[in-house]
Chain A
Amino acid sequence: MKKYSIFSLARNALNFHQDWEKAWRSPEPKKNYDAIIIGGGGHGLATAYYLAKEHGITNVAVIEKGWLGGGNTGRNTTIIRSNYLWDESARMYEKSLQLYEGLSQDLNYNIMLSQRGVLNLAHNLHDIRELKRRVNAIKLNGIDSEFLTPEQIKSIVPMINISPAIRYPVLGASIQRRGGVARHDAVAWGYARAADARGVDIIQQCEVTGIIRDGGRVTGVNTTRGVINAPKVAIVTAGHSSVLAAMADVRLPISSFPLQAMVTEPVKPILNSVVMSNAVHCYISQSDKGELVLGAGIDGYNSYTQRGSLHIVEEQLAAVCLLFPIFSRLRIMRKWGGIVDTCPDASPIVSKTHVDGLYINGGWGTGGFKGTPASGWTFAHTIARDEPHALNAPFNLDRFTSGSLIDEHGAAAVAH
């Protein structure tokens, strides 16, 4: 892999950029691999990269039915944070954030990690109690987190409306200053390039149509480009976890929903942090290009269509106009949908399955992008050693039977 730098840019400029090598090869699939990773999104590519880097397993194929990074990796709102309540989640997402912090250099691909701070707003007394519980837990877990008063919020986000007279006033917020955003495509491409450089075969335009088993063991996959054998097969297909798992008769507690996101027209810098509000359902940041990047709540029904309903977007943009009345005249330039695989406890599955040699990574819900590096790192460990790392051990599939859920969803429950 030829190194990217300002010097390589200058050198290539002299030759009108004719000599750049391919970021990754387009190999023909081999007959046999040591491991097959189904799904060429950020998580799958990261898994392949860490399998090669941390475990020396390089005879690996990443099989992607479309184009690498073409699923949720390229459809999310790119928020990165590790301010999770439960210890298990905090450790997993903090590992992710730490890997993100060195990722551009590790991959030699600028993923544009922008640690501009992530604020979560509180709009009622219950929100405040919950946010404080989180802030305290996160701090004691050694992760940065602070509670902000409305005035402190205003000093960081001058455009926000903190008037106590609005329908759901801003009463406070938590902030994780190390949180922020990154360039989502770059994460996928950077992992792909670095994995490829270590010998991983990334095979695009190849759809897995079956998972081949012999007794209780996996032996390979059927694909639109023939049979590919491997003693280990890992499913990392956010948005299609259930579909792939069903090929090996593995039942999952996952439902897939559309999640919509959108960007406005680009404007000069006006919002320097990421602002999220669960209570009124919106999250907003400004991309380096100047677009406001906005996320909505999930649509309420199972669907694989990658498009959602208009009223969901309308509710969310009304919330934006409540918090930022100055943005009312800006215009939405593009909106799209992804498919999020959600677990009942809003935590992912990074786990072995009851089929020997078959591993599953999915159910990241709306939080997959921020989890990408740790997801790959722990999943690679699980595949290489055939046992989970301490970080992902709690995120096993058995927890739905034993009841030891990691209930990030429940912890946000509202009632009184």
Chain B
Amino acid sequence: MLLIPCPWCGERDEPEFHHGGEAHIKRPLEPDQSTDEEWAEYIFMRTNPKGVFLERWVHQSGCRRWFNLARNTATNEIIGAYKMGEKPPISTIANKQKTATVSNKKPKGVK
């Protein structure tokens, strides 16, 4: 069970929250001007990275505020929360990626 730092309430258990998928997906300003492909990109296509993921959460059973979270989907390590409209903590993410603790080393020896 994750421990999620709500920017408004502090750290709370995961069941108080609801996951809102990938963050920073912009709705086309003029949907009528978008192609079918652009519209599909907006409603369906997702980055789904293995590694640092910028995602949205809502503190549903708490303050009911939406916020963003930078979390490593390979380890569940939380890098930081930031409020809607704020920029992701790029420098922290970069540092974390450098010192990532999870090695992808494979067992060797057997073919």
Q: Which residues of A contact B (CB under 8 A)?
A: 26, 28, 65-66, 204-205, 207, 224, 240, 242-243, 246, 251-256, 300-305, 309-311, 344, 400-402
> For B14, B36, B50, which residue has the most chain A Cβ atoms within 10 angstroms?
B50
Known contacts being A302-B55, A304-B73, A401-B36, is A309 close to B19, with CB within 8 Å?
A: no
Q: List 18 A-B contacts (CB under 8 A).
A: A205-B108, A224-B106, A242-B46, A243-B48, A251-B45, A252-B45, A252-B48, A255-B46, A300-B18, A300-B19, A301-B2, A302-B55, A304-B50, A304-B74, A305-B73, A309-B2, A309-B14, A400-B40
B92 within 8 A of A: no
Contact of B37 (CB < 8 Å), options: A204, A205, A305, A401 = A401
A252 to chain B, nearest CB (A): 7
User: How near does chain A come to B51, taking the closest CB pair, in angstroms?
Assistant: 9
> If A205-B106, A400-B40 touch, does A243 touch B45 (CB 8 Å cutoff)?
no
Please report the C-alpha to C-alpha distance between residue A300 and residue B28 in the assembled complex, in whole angstroms: 26
Tell which of B41, B75, B76, B106 touches A251, judged by Cβ atoms closer than 8 Å.
B41
Contact pick for B76, options A246, A303, A401, CB 8 Å = A303
Once the chains bind, are A400 and B74 in contact (CB under 8 Å)?
A: no
What 0/1 pattern do residues 34 to 56 of B give for CB contact below 8 A with A? 00110111011111111001010
Q: Decide: A256 and B48 in contact? CB cutoff 8 A.
A: yes
Beyond A205-B107, A256-B50, list 18 extra A-B contacts (CB 8 Å): A65-B106, A205-B110, A243-B49, A246-B47, A251-B41, A253-B45, A254-B48, A255-B21, A255-B22, A300-B19, A302-B53, A302-B55, A305-B73, A305-B74, A309-B1, A311-B15, A344-B43, A400-B40
Residues from chain A with Cβ under 8 Å of B73 in the complex: 256, 302-305
Measured CB to CB, the closest approach of chain B to A415, in angstroms, equals 18
Q: Does B111 lie at the interface of the complex (its beta carbon under 8 Å from any beta carbon of A)?
A: yes
Pick the most buried of A300, A301, A303, A304: most chain B CB atoms within 10 A of its CB. Answer: A301
Query: Would B106 and A400 count as touching, CB distance under 8 A?
Result: no
B interface residues with partner A (beta carbon < 8 Å): 1-2, 14-15, 18-19, 21-22, 36-37, 39-41, 43-50, 53, 55, 71, 73-76, 104, 106-108, 110-111
Residue of A nearest to B41 (CB): A251
What is the CB-to-nearest-CB distance from B41 to chain A, in angstroms, rounded to a whole number? 7
A189 to B1, CA, bound (A): 34
Contact A310 B111 (CB under 8 A): no
Q: List chain B residues, Cβ under 8 A from A311.
A: 1, 14-15
Nearest CB to that of B104 among chain A residues?
Answer: A207
Which A residues touch B43, using CB under 8 A? Answer: 344
Q: Contact between B50 and A240 (Cβ–Cβ < 8 Å)?
A: yes
Considering the chains assembled together, what is the distance between the CA atoms of A344 and B15 in angstroms?
23
Bound form: Cα–Cα A370–B4 in Å: 35
B19 cross-chain contacts in A, Cβ below 8 A: 300-302
Q: In the bound complex, what is the Cα–Cα distance between A414 and B50 (angstroms)? A: 32
- A243: which of B14, B37, B50 is its contact (CB, 8 Å)? B50
Contacts A304-B74, A309-B1; A253 near B44 (Cβ below 8 A): yes
Q: CA of A304 to CA of B73 in the docked complex: distance in angstroms?
A: 6
A252, B41: Cα distance in complex, Å: 9
Question: Bound complex: CA of A26 vs CA of B50, how far in Å?
Answer: 29
Task: Determine the residue in chain B with the shortest Cβ distance to A307.
Answer: B76
A159 to B15, alpha carbons, bound, how many Å? 32
| Contact in complex: B55, A301 (CB < 8 Å) | yes
B48 A242 Cβ-Cβ under 8 A: yes
The distance from the CB of A256 to the nearest CB of chain B, in whole angstroms, is: 6
Task: Give the CA-CA distance A409 to B50 in the complex, in Å.
Answer: 25
Residue of B nearest to A28 (CB): B111
Q: Which residues of B contact A246 (CB under 8 A)?
A: 47, 49
A242 pairs with B49, CB closer than 8 A = yes
- The interface residues of chain A lying within 8 Å CB-to-CB of B75 are 305
How far, in Å, is A208 (CB) from chain B's closest CB? 13
Residues of A contacting B36 in the complex (Cβ-Cβ under 8 angstroms): 401-402
Cα–Cα, bound, A137→B8 (Å) = 49
Measured CB to CB, the closest approach of chain B to A205, in angstroms, equals: 6
Q: Is the CB of B44 within 8 A of A255?
A: no
Considering the complex, give the chain B residue whose CB is closest to the CB of A315: B15
Closest Cβ–Cβ distance, residue B91 to chain A (whole Å): 23
Residue of A at shortest CB range from B19?
A301
Closest 9 CB pairs of A and B: A242-B48, A253-B44, A401-B40, A301-B19, A309-B1, A251-B45, A400-B44, A304-B50, A300-B19
Cα–Cα, bound, A243→B106 (Å): 18
- Residues of chain B within 8 A (CB-CB) of A66 are 106
Contact A207 B111 (CB under 8 A): no
Please state if B46 and A253 are interface contacts (CB–CB under 8 Å): yes
Most chain B CB atoms below 10 A, which of A254, A255, A304: A304
